[in-house]
Amino acid sequence: YSSNSPNYRIFSTRSTIKLEYEGTLFTEWSVPEICFVLNKSSPRTELRCSSPGVHAIKPIVTGPHFFNNLTQVISVWVYDPENADPDELLGSAEEPSINSIVLSTQMATLGQKPVIHTVLKRKAYVSNEKMKKGTWHIMVPMTRDDALKEIRGNQVTFQDCFIADFLIVLTFPLLTIPEIPGSLPISSPRGSQLMVSWDACVVASVVLVTDMETFQTNDSFRTWTRIRVPPGSLSDAERQSVADVIISRDGVFFLTNGVLYQKSFRGFLKLGRILNLPDGGITGISSRKWCWVKYLSKAKERRSNFAVWTENEVYLEYILLKFARLVTTTELKNILNLSVTATLTIHSVEYTGHPLEIAVFLSYCTICTVTKKIFLVIYNEDTKQWVSQDFTLDAPIDSVFVPHFVFSALPGLILWNKHSIYYCYHNFTFTGILQTHAGHGNLSMLSNDSIIHEVFIDYYGNILIKMENNVIFYSKINTRDVVKLHLWTNNTTRAFVLLSTSGYTYFLYALDNGTIQIQDYPLSLETRSVAFTTKDKCPYMAFHNNVARVFYFLDKGETLTLWTQIIYPENTGLYVVVESYGPKILEESHDISFEAAFGHCTKTLTITFYQNVDYEGLYDYFEMQHNNTGLVMVQFRPSEYSKTCPIAQKVFQIAVGCDDKKFIAVKGFSKKGCHHHDFSYVIEKSYLRHQPSKNLKVRYIWKKYGCPLRLDFTEKFQPVIQLFDDNGYVKDVGANFIVWEIHGRDDYSFNNTMAQSGCLHEAQTWKSMIELNKHLPLEEVWGPEFLQ
């Protein structure tokens, strides 16, 4: 089934639902009386339902069922999916249709005006021009760290028509690697399943490897190009032996026969010893699955982009193709206090849901003939510390498991072999095997002996397990059961489930003729359809919170107050769980309110995060500051939920420390509004502290200092320090500060003496601090580390 509305955003009593049955044994459609089907006996027809609600629609069949510049101008208009041009439905229209011009103009006269909101930085952009030909034009800057945006309109109705909000991803232009004539295909072995990699922060940027070609897209496969390699760069066998692939800002990386290769705009390169990587024996590569564009790192080094490993070593790749060895199994034996005679190898490496952590799975055995143990250690790229986790898995010696960490504050993951899914949630305290209601944990037995091909997890906690024959099972994070979804495509088409630019799922199909197709997959509707038949219900009615960002900064002296609320039936005793992960540097205060009415309960939790650290009188101010800064992951979640609950949790970060986007400036100074000319001045030598033999000529640096502040020489000047961030002015700074003349003049004077200012003892002075710290430059002799 399908509808005209993209991603099924509008699914109402006005929607035309297109039905299609694939098979030869179709008889007719079974629909309730309140729904109308255009041709009941046709396998392809249209359906309308005049009454809202959940309706059971099914085909009646005989016999078994078989399947064979740095800104962009955004043009915005309103269209009706039931009266739109084909280009509008495909999202490729460059201007509105006649019907859409009329509809948009009518909406505008009623007060409609769209606004583009950014999800992370909470910025808003509106049209500053009048509507032209039924179209609003909104100018939006392109950013890498605020790419997810949502187009929202006013609450305006016209003939009971509402306008659905729309998510878009707008970042800097992403180019695909051009095809070069004469190049040869690079592919996986013949008969392999699809292999996919995507950019965690720009999900529209994807690389697909099939057993015929490799494809690249930057718009979720609305358009695509082929990636090929130069003749002679690889043998025929090597070109057809891709074992894994990763897309990165540095290009596309292929793992073939234990060797890593890079394809970029500069060409095709074999990576090895010259880049601090082994020339062979590489067993795996892995990149980030979750996007954290903002995070707090106290270390100066940038975080890695992807991991490379052999049986005994782990390497990390950083920007501009820089590789560094992270650890060896010999070093891990010492870290974990394991026997030096035991066999320890790298099983796999996976990035966790934390923006700075990497998980390493280890295979351990002493007599390596029948079974082995799989251990887990997590490395933090900021603290440089290894932490062994409470995770041990006994497995056959030749077994292979694929891990995938979920999007949560506490570490949690699922891992799978060919037949079963293992779950480890809530920091590895809630573990087991996903099972159906009948107790089946072997999913191959429920899918005609097919094996697991792909496990898809999104930010809402949905889990899709796709078998090689395209049978799909569904689960939700922090739940222990799995349910089989309706069949969606035949068992021979090679398919993959992906996330679109609008945050919705779609199927990617690789066809036998060497081309690819996409198809929207209405995950929410499919899961509701199954819940309708199984009578599965969410235990709560609503789960709300006021968490408006995924990243908060908490500076010294500041507090962060948030609330979360759950509404549920009486006598079920639900509540909201607050969980945090990271350094223990935050205090919490909780306030709970409760209300019961008309058979429902509303429980609201207000929580305040703050620090309780006294920095007064410290011997080492900076060490204390370093120990009390860091990144804390927090999540709100209901105490109980099921697969039918729309939102399972709310995850966000609290960075305790100073925002690197903050800066201070003296009030009144501006970089604009004055003519920047070659300006210099002379300081008389008698006014300089070191009494030089010549006067000092100083050139004024406009770019650094801005326009000079014009004052009358009789005015008393006291600088007002202002705080700014990337959004502009924040507040005046009330803290003490030190003023010095960087060139060493000493002819200035002060307005007050120490006694007039209320000092009981002699305060620190420039003279005393220079004398105390003769080995330091002038700008470092006096600072907060020297305060008494």
Q: What are phi and psi of 366, to 5 degrees?
A: -105, -45
**524 by DSSP, 3-state: which?**
helix
**Would you call 727 helix, strand, or coil by DSSP?**
coil
Nearest to 8 by CA among 757, 524, 395: 524
How many Cα atoms within 13 Å fall on the side-chain side of residue 605?
20
Report angle CA 170, 173, 178 to the nearest 5 degrees.
140
Structure token digits, residue 748: 């200035």
The residue among 189, 265, 191 whose CA lies nearest residue 225 is 265
Please state the pTM of the whole predicted model. 0.82
Residue 543 host element (H or E): strand 542-545
Residues 631 and 355: beta-carbon distance below 8 Å: yes
| H and E: helices and strands count for the chain | 8, 54
- From residue 499, alpha-carbon distances to 165, 199, 341, 675 in Å are 18, 11, 46, 51
Q: Which residues of the chain have pLDDT under 70?
A: 62-69, 298-301, 615-626, 784-788
* 20 and 44 Cβ atoms separated by less than 8 Å: yes
pLDDT score for 67: 38
Strand partners, 196: 208
Which residue type occupies 430? F
CA terminus-to-terminus distance, the chain: 74
Count of Cβ atoms closer than 10 Å to residue 664 Cβ: 12
DSSP state of 688: B
Give the pLDDT confidence score for residue 69 in this predicted structure: 55
- pLDDT score of 298: 64
| CA dist., res. 434 & res. 34, Å (int) | 38
pLDDT at 622: 65
The b/e string for 690-728 (b: 16+ C-beta within 10 A; e otherwise) is eeeeeeeeeeeebeeebeeeeeeeeeeeeeeebbeeeee
d(CA 672, CA 111): 38
pLDDT tens sequence across 182-198? 999 999 999 999 999 99
Q: Are 323 and 286 spatial neighbours (Cβ–Cβ below 8 Å)? A: no
Reference 102, options 118, 80, 124, 121; nearest CA is 80
Q: Considering just the CA atoms, what is the radius of gyration of the chain in Å?
A: 31
3-state secondary structure of 685: helix
- pLDDT in the model for residue 66: 41
- H-helix or E-strand spanning residue 103: helix 98-109
Token pair belonging to 663: 């800066």
> How far is the C-alpha of 294 from the C-alpha of 617, rounded, in Å?
33
C-alpha dist (Å) from residue 775 to 302, 745, 779, 787: 32, 19, 12, 18
Residue closest to 143 by CA, chosen among 167, 166, 123, 127: 123
Phi and psi at residue 779, to the nearest 5° = -75, -5
Domains of the chain: 17-61 (no CATH), 71-169 (no CATH), 185-256 (no CATH), 542-656 (2.60.40), 663-751 (no CATH)
Residue 600 contacts by C-beta under 8 Å, 6 or more apart in sequence?
Answer: 541, 567, 568, 569, 570
Q: Which residues pair with 425 in a beta bridge?
A: 430
pLDDT in tens, 305-332: 999 999 999 999 998 899 999 999 999 9
Could you tell me which residues are beta bridge partners of residue 287? 306
51: left (phi over 0), alpha (psi -120 to 50) or beta: beta
Q: Determine how many CB atoms are found less than 10 A away from the CB of residue 302.
A: 11
Residue 784: predicted pLDDT: 66
DSSP 49-71: ESS-S----EEEESS-------E
